A and B are shown apart, each in its own frame.
Chain A
């Protein structure tokens, strides 16, 4: 297996991907018992989709997942979706790719007769097309808990109306364009249905090369050899986001990365950074970085420089886009970069595998990737004019829903930096916490906060007691159940609002409250809010006359920060089960957990 994947990694051509897929199928692997690393894929639609499924299967494996792939028959997606006992449903997919060719639904003479159709007829056909796809998606939404990835339609290159196509209310191109818009509208509110922008991906690749007419007419294969792996990459973005493999932080070098030249030698007037060439390419690279910052990607600096030289650029250079306030942490010194990055990860409180490192110097890159294989070290182009394209094509920052917490994360980290400075000046930790004016809101999660709760469940690794990943559908089932409570915790202090940063899932059984999941964003570690969170659960349990609270802990490589939570709060009698779950018990008639005096619990 390793060997097969290594050979595709070296040469991810279409033929190699397909060959690897077939070889892996021949191995007849069994499903590992631990499900967390397994992805069940289904690819269905109106054409021959085995090649696309093969590429997606292998590319998902290259991300380190165990994969099972179901490929639907040729144009049998309707039967597969409508028949509850079909193989599609037996495959229990986590992700369903739905690739429907508009021409398979449209009348055979649609193109021929389009010019003669009235506007009304065109609209009617358009609505049929939208409904036809949407009904399939709705059915999949109700029958599975899968993520549903629906290709939108490719706007044809040819139109019989020629250059006056857009002089009509709904010309052929606008017909497809607005069909895509209607589909986007239908799926906008869906938490599991996503419209994959095939039209845009095809455009970026080259529409005239996205199909190979030989294989299309011989075997109804919808995408060319070169395009199929590119499209598969797009689906992998969703898989990574679903499985919480999202990068959260970019660590940036300065000289020849954020600006051209070396600040220590060229001086502030000498570096290339400005609104004309040379220098505009760095400004535009920074603008793209700022766009990512504004949607919640953390930025940090790691540079071999004199601190004062570098800070001068941030503070005084008129064309500098990124300022000190955009960086959660900085390491500007002469230490080796691997050590600096380890420190940055600690300071910002994120895992090394959430970090992307960008540096123009290949030696620095090699050193960092050797010491920290988990860090994504970007192979920067030699040509700085390609930096912007590089970052825009990186596609490793995807999340399945953007919350308000995401949008303001950058500001929160600045608050954190200031807090850290304060902490260092306070004499005791309690004194420090007292100065923060901590306010915590804990309640059973409402509709508004649920997307954020699902997001936290999906991506929190460090302060996560059991690392159980639940889907949107599972969380909503928990919320409906009388025997389960899903709590959310929001934290506020004098430096800002952190929003929802904690989740607990409690299962009630025979007078015992089992804490199935307890997790907290690493942003708020060290502020004792976990104590308040436990105290609230304890208080609620006492109200229902529960006898014991049982907290579960499953150790992983990443969650040592959470390992002593239960012990620290008076839970005892740890017992380890066969599947490595350690359970800690708190007897409610003897023990309790109190809210720390420096935390104020607020109501909704």
Chain B
């Protein structure tokens, strides 16, 4: 597992309070109760701080699954 995946998983497990192996790419904001608006805000700001990037408001709204977040984040961190 890369450092990148590790850091992201670390944030996700703590924000969602679940184990690493429970975090799947198709985990959906709409169907997963702990992923409420407060958790979403927390997730976004922790990822921003950890990876020293910045999400546009539209991007924040459009993160619906773990896969969405990963994809967006990869775009941001790769030069």
Contact = CB atoms under 8 A, between A and B. Distances in A.
The dominant DSSP class at the B interface is helix
| Residue of A22, A23, A215 with highest tally of chain B CB at under 10 A | A22
B71 interface: no
Given A221-B41, A225-B49, A19 B57 contact: no
A19 B14 contact: yes
A50 interface: yes
Interface residues of A, number: 17
A214 B15 contact: no
Contact of A15 (B14, B34, B38, B41): B14
B45 interface: yes
B68 interface: no
Given A15-B11, A16-B14, A23-B17, A219 B41 contact: yes
A218 B54 CA distance: 13
B15 A26 contact: no
Interface string A203-222: 00000000010110011010
B72 interface: no
B48 A214 contact: yes
A218 B57 contact: yes
Nearest to B49: A225
| Residue of A23, A48, A214, A225 with highest tally of chain B CB at under 10 A | A214
Contacts of B67: none
B45 A225 contact: yes
A18 interface: yes
B14 A212 contact: no
B60 A15 contact: no
B54 A214 contact: yes
A261 to B, nearest CB: 45
A218 B17 contact: no
Given A212-B45, A225-B49, A218 B15 contact: no
Contacts, number: 37
Contacts of B60: 218
A276 to B, nearest CB: 44
Interface string B5-21: 00000010011010000
A218 B38 CA distance: 10
Contact of B41 (A19, A23, A26, A218): A218
B42 interface: yes
A85 B37 CA distance: 28
A18 B44 CA distance: 14
| Residue of A15, A16, A23, A219 with highest tally of chain B CB at under 10 A | A15
B36 to A, nearest CB: 10
B45 A214 contact: yes
A316 to B, nearest CB: 56
Contacts of B45: 212, 214-215, 218, 225
B42 A18 contact: yes
Contacts of A48: 38
A15 B15 contact: yes
A451 B49 CA distance: 47
A175 B37 CA distance: 36
A19 B48 contact: no
Interface string A7-28: 0000000011011001100100
Given A15-B46, A218-B41, A219-B41, 7 more contacts: A15-B15, A18-B15, A19-B14, A22-B34, A214-B48, A221-B41, A225-B46
Interface of B: 11, 14-15, 17, 34, 37-38, 41-42, 44-46, 48-49, 54, 57, 60
15 contacts: A15-B42, A16-B14, A18-B14, A18-B42, A19-B15, A48-B38, A51-B42, A212-B45, A214-B45, A214-B54, A215-B41, A218-B41, A218-B57, A219-B38, A225-B46
